[in-house]
Amino acid sequence: MMFFRDPGQPADSYYEVRPEVTDAPQSKFRIRAGKTLSARKWHSAFSPDGRLDISKTLGRIHRGGIHPTIRGEVWEFLLGCYDSGSTYEERAEIRERRREQYAEWKEECRQMFPLIGSGKFITAPMINEKGEAIQDPLVLLETNLGDVHGNTANGSGSENEVKDKPPMSEKEIKWKLLLHQIGLDVKRTDRALVFYEKQENLAKLWDILSVYAWRDEDVGYCQGMSDLCSPMIIVLENEADSYFCFERLMRRLRGNFQSTGRSVGVESQLGNLASVCQVIDPKLHQHLETLGGGDYLFAIRMLMVLFRREFSFCDSLYLWEMMWALEYDPNLFTLYEESDSEGESDGSKLRTKSIRHYGKYEREHLKSGAEDEPLPISVFLVASVLKDKGPRLLKEARGLDDVVKILNDINGDIDAKKACTNAMKLHKKYLKQLKNSKA
């Protein structure tokens, strides 16, 4: 008797691509019985009162990803929105409180700019750097809210009310200058998906990013953040829930988007990548340095938007959840709650939960005895891609343009599971060599 391997159910149907788009990369992710975390397996990991034994799910997520029908609720745990030890009742209270909080923040933004929450958005600037309204026909056409000087830029009201309105604060001007850039990026984000044919979904993405830009004054909005936010809106129906998932993800990544007059935040990650590559593949690192690529700037996109451009939409979600499962720290929720209420927490008193509740990547770090915070697994993912392309880079790359071209050729052609597996191997090798160097 011959046995055939079950190829698994394609997951692309859950994220339908517009029929006229013919160049979208095909997903390699398949829903496989016994490997992919199913709704049945997920729900069986909860106690009667709602406490989750996360250890029963992390390995399965790493092996086969999450079924699209439960992806949103699983992500909320992986990103630290909820404590795995919380009950159904406790989570319901937190969810309601957060939804009310988001509604307040959104209303605060709407008072400053009435287009927030209207189902519309702008792609043209409506104020200058002095806070003066720009009578841009494109803004008037997009908003259809009347005089941009009154109803759109400075809030609704009569001419006398507008004249009496106090001047905008520096923070408000800075925020309003971002709104059209957010709109431009929203129009470009995941446009191959049928989901974004609906104006209401585009507007939801704009609203969330606009509220976030107002709340996080240090980061505001930077290109690439729409790529990180978009999946949250697709996998979670409620806008407030999507916002908080995105906000939790940004807590991990916001350092990449922070910049000063002298440096960009992602430079520290690039420095980490260079250090890792120097340890695990010194020959390739030396070659890249010789070409003038020792700063690894060619890897910025992969680190900034977590491989969204290198994978199909479906595969990028699969990659993300594998990464989060591997990096999972059961103290995340507590750390976030403490930092919200009492300032940053160092977490020194939190590492008391069983090691089995940690993700495999996090466990390896804990077992190594290293005192420093672990490097993000994304650094090792990029390193694994570079190592995989190492022979070609060594043979064909005679300049940075060649490096970029070779790396661009991988778009849609990487296996997410293989990339994660290789990243874990490199991490283990890196820890071992680091330990030997200190001995």
Domain boundary among the residues 251, 278, 302 is at: 251
At 301-333, the pLDDT tens digits run 899 999 998 888 999 999 999 999 999 999 888
Are residues 200 and 323 both part of a single domain?
Answer: no
Are residues 291 and 191 both part of a single domain?
Answer: no
Are residues 268 and 212 both part of a single domain?
Answer: no
CATH of the domain at 380: 1.10.472
Task: Give the position of tokens 């590559």.
Answer: 277
Number of domains in the chain: 2
Given a contact cutoff of 8 angstroms between Cβ atoms, the answer to whether 121 and 115 are in contact is: yes
Please report whether residue 66 resides in a domain.
no
Are residues 172 and 263 both part of a single domain?
Answer: no
Please report whether residue 199 resides in a domain.
yes
The vertex-433 CA angle with 432 and 436, nearest 5°, equals: 90
**Which domain range does residue 224 map to?**
87-251
The residues that bridge with 31 in the sheet, in sequence order, are 9
Are residues 349 and 398 both part of a single domain?
Answer: yes
Please report whether residue 5 resides in a domain.
no
Are residues 321 and 343 both part of a single domain?
Answer: yes
Given a contact cutoff of 8 angstroms between Cβ atoms, the answer to whether 317 and 235 are in contact is: yes
At 19-56, the pLDDT tens digits run 998 888 888 888 998 899 999 999 999 999 999 999 99
What does pLDDT average to over the chain? 86
Are residues 167 and 306 both part of a single domain?
Answer: no
Dihedral angle computed from the Cα positions of residues 191, 194, 200 and 205, in that order, rounded to the nearest 10 degrees: -40
pTM of the predicted structure, to 2 decimals:
0.90
Please report whether residue 215 resides in a domain.
yes
Residues with Cβ within 8 Å of residue 357, at least 6 apart in sequence: 54, 55, 84, 328, 330
Are residues 417 and 401 both part of a single domain?
Answer: yes
Are residues 242 and 289 both part of a single domain?
Answer: no
State percent of the chain over pLDDT 70: 87
Q: Is 65 helix (H, G, I), strand (E, B) or coil?
A: coil
Please report whether residue 50 resides in a domain.
no
Q: How confident is the model at residue 156 (pLDDT cuts 50, 70, 90)?
A: very low
Given a contact cutoff of 8 angstroms between Cβ atoms, the answer to whether 142 and 125 are in contact is: no
Please report whether residue 122 resides in a domain.
yes
Are residues 164 and 242 both part of a single domain?
Answer: yes
Please report whether residue 26 resides in a domain.
no
Are residues 301 and 174 both part of a single domain?
Answer: no
Which H or E run includes 108?
helix 88-112
Phi/psi of residue 120, nearest 5 degrees: -125, 170
Are residues 121 and 212 both part of a single domain?
Answer: yes
Rg (CA), the chain: 23
Window from 87-101, 227-241, 411-425 with minimum mean pLDDT: 411-425
